[in-house]
């Protein structure tokens, strides 16, 4: 961890502000030559020194992990992802903490806020929606804090694809239907057209494609799939606010789902599931519960299916 210098001001010594991008670049460069010494020494469930970046889960407070709940309940400062985190969770577990909504705040504001609170001896928690590892933009904050000398770590959460799967009463992988799962997002401000691979995943046939951050573009995405001659009858399910009290499920196909989502008026906060697994269609019995499982072989091989 690099740390920063100091500068003299009229009111005494002050911290030399660090450009978050410079901090990120410095930490990235350091990783090319030196492995983080903490890797392999801690498990994901351990409470560690520093600022935890916690997945709050998809919405229902009950889907916050036990470790996550313990950490937020003991926090002095909770920086959270605004309306993406259920207010019921904040009210239930963080009522005694100072709560700061991160929406609309730049790294230049968030990093010093968390750094200064941590250095003042306060217990700081950064609360992301879902799981920070999936479109969470957590690492850039963590790198900037690490560069400032503040240790950080990740605490996993339940991502919305898993909540949507439970709502649909299905699996994302099904024998004979879907051997793979793709977490993706449609083209937009942060994803160029050539980086949009939704059509490629759907074309594979045995992939359940989970589209994040694309509620506003469902119709456009489906139109592109139709233009590329994908099967218009491919099942699609859209789960709005998975696990929230106002959760809603819209089912259809590549051909029909765009219009149905538009009629519902949803423009954000929904998970799109494309593929036969969304409808639990024509799957095969697993080998796990038959004679095959009793044959000699490795335990790992037995568990694969």
Q: pLDDT by residue (tens digit) across 30-75?
A: 888 888 888 888 889 899 999 999 999 999 999 999 999 999 999 9
Structure tokens of 53? 């970046």
Return the percentage of the chain with pLDDT > 70, whole number: 88
Residue 182's beta-bridge partner residues?
209
Q: Under the phi-then-psi rule, with left for phi > 0, alpha for psi from -120 to 50, and beta for the rest, what region is 116?
A: alpha
Q: Is the pLDDT of residue 107 over 50?
A: yes
Structure tokens of 56? 């709050």
Q: Is the pLDDT of residue 23 over 90?
A: no
pLDDT value of residue 6: 41
Confidence of residue 305 (pLDDT cuts 50, 70, 90): low
* Residue-wise pLDDT tens digits, 253-299: 999 999 999 999 999 999 999 999 999 878 888 877 776 656 655 55
pLDDT value of residue 26: 82
The DSSP element (H or E) to which 274 belongs, if any, is strand 270-274
Angle between helices 20-31 and 107-119 (to 10 degrees): 70
Which one of 3.30.540.10, 3.30.950.10, 3.40.630.30, 3.40.50.720 gives the CATH number of domain 161-279?
Answer: 3.30.950.10
Averaged pLDDT, 208-227: 96
Range(s) within the chain of domains with CATH label 3.30.950.10: 161-279
* Residue-wise pLDDT tens digits, 150-189: 999 999 999 999 999 999 999 999 999 999 999 999 987 6
23 vs 182: which has the higher pLDDT: 182
pLDDT value of residue 294: 63
DSSP type of residue 297: S
Residue recorded with tokens 């470790």:
67
pLDDT value of residue 27: 82
Q: What end-to-end distance do the CA atoms of the chain give, in Å? A: 43
| Inter-residue contact 161 to 210 (CB < 8 Å) | yes
Alpha-carbon span 154 to 177, nearest angstrom: 33
* Residue-wise pLDDT tens digits, 133-156: 999 999 999 999 999 999 999 999
Range(s) within the chain of domains with CATH label 3.40.1010.10: 15-36+49-158
Residue recorded with tokens 């409808």:
279
Confidence of residue 22 (pLDDT cuts 50, 70, 90): confident
Alpha-carbon span 262 to 271, nearest angstrom: 15
Residue recorded with tokens 């003042």:
120
pLDDT value of residue 302: 53
pTM of the model: 0.86
Average pLDDT over the chain, rounded to an integer: 89
196 vs 18: which has the higher pLDDT: 196
> Distances from the Cα of 233 to the Cαs of 198, 229, 279, in angstroms?
16, 11, 12
Return the percentage of the chain with pLDDT > 90, whole number: 73
DSSP type of residue 197: -
pLDDT value of residue 129: 96
pLDDT value of residue 45: 87
CATH of domain 15-36+49-158: 3.40.1010.10
**Ranges assigned E (strand) in 56-164:** 77-80, 98-101, 124-128, 152-155
Pairing between strand 235-240 and 152-155? unpaired
Query: Which residues, including other chains, have CB under 8 Å from residue 30's CB and lie 6 or more apart?
Result: 2
Averaged pLDDT, 15-33: 78
């Amino acid at each position: 961890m690099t740390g920063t210098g100091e500068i003299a001001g009229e009111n005494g010594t002050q911290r030399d502000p660090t450009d978050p991008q410079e901090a990120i670049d410095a930490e990235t460069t350091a990783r090319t030559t030196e492995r983080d010494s903490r890797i392999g020494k801690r498990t994901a469930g351990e409470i560690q020194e520093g600022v935890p970046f916690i997945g709050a889960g998809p919405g229902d407070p009950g889907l916050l992990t036990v470790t996550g709940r313990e950490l937020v309940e003991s926090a002095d400062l909770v920086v959270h992802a605004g309306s993406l985190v259920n207010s019921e969770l904040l009210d239930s577990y963080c009522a005694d903490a100072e709560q700061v909504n991160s929406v609309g705040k730049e790294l230049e504001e968030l990093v010093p806020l968390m750094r200064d609170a941590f250095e003042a001896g306060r217990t700081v928690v950064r609360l992301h929606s879902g799981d920070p590892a999936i479109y969470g933009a957590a690492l850039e904050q963590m790198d900037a804090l690490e560069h400032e000398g503040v240790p950080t770590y990740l605490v996993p959460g339940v991502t919305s694809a898993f909540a949507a799967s439970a709502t649909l009463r299905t699996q994302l992988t099904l024998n004979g239907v879907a051997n793979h799962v793709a977490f993706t997002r449609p083209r937009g401000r942060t994803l160029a057209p050539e980086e949009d691979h939704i059509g490629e995943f759907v074309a594979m046939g045995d992939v359940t494609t989970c589209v994040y951050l694309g509620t506003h573009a469902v119709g456009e995405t489906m139109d592109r799939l139709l233009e590329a001659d994908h099967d218009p009858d491919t099942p699609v399910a859209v789960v709005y606010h998975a696990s929230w009290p106002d959760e809603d499920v819209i089912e259809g196909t590549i051909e029909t789902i765009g219009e149905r989502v538009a009629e519902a008026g949803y423009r954000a906060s929904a998970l799109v599931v494309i593929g036969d697994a969304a409808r639990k269609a024509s799957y095969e019995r697993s080998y796990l519960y038959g004679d095959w499982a009793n044959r000699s072989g490795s335990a790992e091989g037995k568990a694969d299916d």
